Amino acid sequence: VTEAITGLDLVEMMIRVAAGEKLPIEQKDVQRNGWSIECRINAEDPFRNFLPSTGRLVRFQTPKQTMFQGNTADLFGVRVDTGVQDGGEIPMFYDSMIAKLIVHGKDRNDAIAKMREALNGFVIRGISTNIPFQAALLAHPRFVSGDFNTGFIAEQYSQGFRAEDVPHEDHDFLAALAAFVRRKSRERAAGLSGQLPGYDVKVGQDYAVVELGQGGHNRYVQVHVDEFIGKRGVAQITIAGKTYAIESNSRLNDIRIEGTCNGQPFIAQIERGTLKNPLALQVQHNGTRIEALVMSPRMAELHQLMPFKSPPDLSRFVLSPMPGLLVDVAVSVGQKVQAGERVAVIEAMKMENVLFASQDGVVKKVVAAKGESLTVDQMIVEFE
C-alpha cells in the first residue's frame, strides 16, 4: 500500500541500503497520491470462528490485475501478491495467509469500491477463505465512515461471524442473477437438435426462485423474464415490480460472471451444485451468498409441500471442526466428562485448538487416535 500511494519501490530501496548504498530521496521528496487498501486472504472459515481450512485448491482465479510487484508506474488499479495456484495444496503446517489483495484508488471511497469489486472477482474453491468477512467489513457503515478502531471486530462480531452479518443492499438482485443464468441454460437446451416434437425444451418466461434457508425456512420469489429474440446474454427480469436489465456474455460454466445490470457493471460468482442440493445454484455477490433453485411456479407450489428432513443429532459426538493433527486425546472409554472439560487438542497452521465437552456425559468410544490427521467433521469421541 505504501508503494501504491508513494510510487516508491520499498523493497528495492531496502536491498540497496543493505548493500551499502544511500537512500536516493529525502523525506520531503515523498509525495502521497490517492488511497490504498490491502486485504489479506487467509485460508480460514469465518463462519467457524476463523478456524484453519486446508486442502486442495480446486479453483484459484485472481481478479484482473493492473498493478504488479516492482512496477510503480501503473497505479490506480488492482494487485495480487501470492505464491499459490490452481491445483496447489494448502497444508496444515504453515501460516493461513495465501494472498495479499491490494487496490489503489483516487480517494478512500474509490479504494473501497475497487476492493469490493476485486473481492467479488476472487474465485477460490476447495477450501474456505475469509473473503466473506472482508466483504462484510468493507460494507459496514462504521468502516465506510472511518469510525472504527482496533476493538471494532470484538464490538461488532462479539458472538462470532454469521451469514446474516453480510446483508446485501439489494437482495432481489441475487435472485435475478439466478433466474438469468437459469434462463440462459434453458435457451441453450432449447436450441439442441434432435428433440422429439411435443417434448422439446420450452424456455418460458415465468419462474420461481427458491432460496434455500436454514431449517427448511425457504424464501419463494416470483420472477418474470422478458424475451429478447436474437439477443444472447440479455434479459429483463422483473421481481416484485422492480426491473433488472441484465447483460452478460460470460459462459454458463464460468464461475465468475461479469456484465451490467441496469447499465451498471457487476462481477458475481455463480455455480451449480451445493451441499444442500446438487441442482441448486450458488450465487455470491458483495459477500452475500445464497443457494437457490429456479423452477416453474407450479413446481415451486409443490416444493412448498415437501416435508423438511431434519439433520441427524450429533450432540453425542465430538467432531473435528477443522483439518489438522490430533496431538492429544484427554479422555478415555468409560470416563465421566463434565461440560467444559477438555476432550482433545488439534494442531493446525501453527496453532493449537482445544476442544471442550459441550455437555456432561460418559465416553463410549474414542474413535480417533493421537497423531492422526483429521478432516473436517471427522469423529473423535462418542458419548453414551
Can you tell me the distance from the alpha carbon of 324 to that of 91, in angstroms, rounded to the nearest whole number? 9
Question: Do 250 and 213 share a structural domain?
Answer: yes
What pLDDT score does 362 carry? Answer: 94
Q: Model's pTM, two decimal places? A: 0.84
Q: Which of 97, 100, 106, 99 is nearest to 77 (CA)?
A: 106
Can you tell me the distance from the alpha carbon of 362 to that of 347, in angstroms, rounded to the nearest whole number? 25
Can you tell me the distance from the alpha carbon of 134 to that of 200, in angstroms, rounded to the nearest whole number? 45
What pLDDT score does 322 carry? Answer: 84
Question: Do 158 and 11 share a structural domain?
Answer: yes
- The count of other CB atoms within 10 Å of the CB of residue 20 is 6
What pLDDT score does 54 carry? Answer: 87
DSSP run (H or E) holding 14: helix 10-18
Q: Is the pLDDT at 19 greater than 80, yes or no?
A: yes
- 273 confidence band (pLDDT: 50, 70, 90): confident
What pLDDT score does 190 carry? Answer: 76
Residue 12 falls inside a structural domain? yes
Residue 299 falls inside a structural domain? yes
Of 123, 141, 165, the residue at which a domain comes to its end is: 165
What pLDDT score does 105 carry? Answer: 96
Question: Do 152 and 21 share a structural domain?
Answer: yes
Question: Do 16 and 97 share a structural domain?
Answer: yes
Question: Do 234 and 215 share a structural domain?
Answer: yes
Lowest pLDDT segment from 65-69, 115-119, 135-139, 182-186: 182-186
Q: How does pLDDT run across 243-268, given as a tens digit for each residue?
A: 999 999 898 889 999 999 999 999 99
Residue 311 falls inside a structural domain? no
What pLDDT score does 247 carry? Answer: 93
DSSP run (H or E) holding 60: strand 59-61
Question: Do 279 and 333 share a structural domain?
Answer: no
Q: How does pLDDT run across 331-355, given as a tens digit for each residue?
A: 999 999 999 999 999 998 878 889 9
What length does the chain have? 384
Of 253, 279, 303, the residue at which a domain comes to its end is: 303
Can you tell me the distance from the alpha carbon of 124 to that of 317, in angstroms, rounded to the nearest whole number? 31
Q: How does pLDDT run across 298-318, given as a tens digit for each residue?
A: 999 999 999 888 888 888 999
What pLDDT score does 71 carry? Answer: 84
Amino acid identity of residue 343, one-letter, is V
- Give me the CATH number covering residue 343: 2.40.50.100
Q: Which of 165, 172, 184 is nearest to 272 (CA)?
A: 184
Question: Do 268 and 124 share a structural domain?
Answer: no
Under 8 Å between Cβ of 173 and 285: yes
Residue 252 falls inside a structural domain? yes
Residue 128 falls inside a structural domain? yes
Can you tell me the distance from the alpha carbon of 339 to that of 325, in angstroms, rounded to the nearest whole number? 23
Question: Do 292 and 270 share a structural domain?
Answer: yes
User: Do β-strands 264-272 and 256-261 pair in parallel, antiparallel, or remain unpaired?
Assistant: antiparallel
Can you tell me the distance from the alpha carbon of 250 to that of 161, in angstroms, rounded to the nearest whole number? 32
Question: Do 17 and 157 share a structural domain?
Answer: yes
Residue 327 falls inside a structural domain? yes
What pLDDT score does 73 carry? Answer: 84
The total domain count for the chain is 3
% the chain with pLDDT above 90:
64
From the number of C-beta atoms within 10 Å of its C-beta (0-12, 13-18, 19+), residue 38 rates as middle
What pLDDT score does 229 carry? Answer: 54
- Give me the CATH number covering residue 276: 3.30.700.30
Question: Do 275 and 256 share a structural domain?
Answer: yes
Residue 309 falls inside a structural domain? no
Q: How does pLDDT run across 23-58, given as a tens digit for each residue?
A: 989 999 999 999 999 999 999 999 888 888 888 999
Of 254, 279, 303, the residue at which a domain comes to its end is: 303
Question: Do 33 and 48 share a structural domain?
Answer: yes
Residue 159 falls inside a structural domain? yes
- Give me the CATH number covering residue 134: 3.30.470.20
Question: Do 187 and 327 share a structural domain?
Answer: no
User: Containing domain of residue 6, as a range?
Assistant: 2-165
Q: How does pLDDT run across 217-244, given as a tens digit for each residue?
A: 899 999 999 876 557 789 999 999 999 9
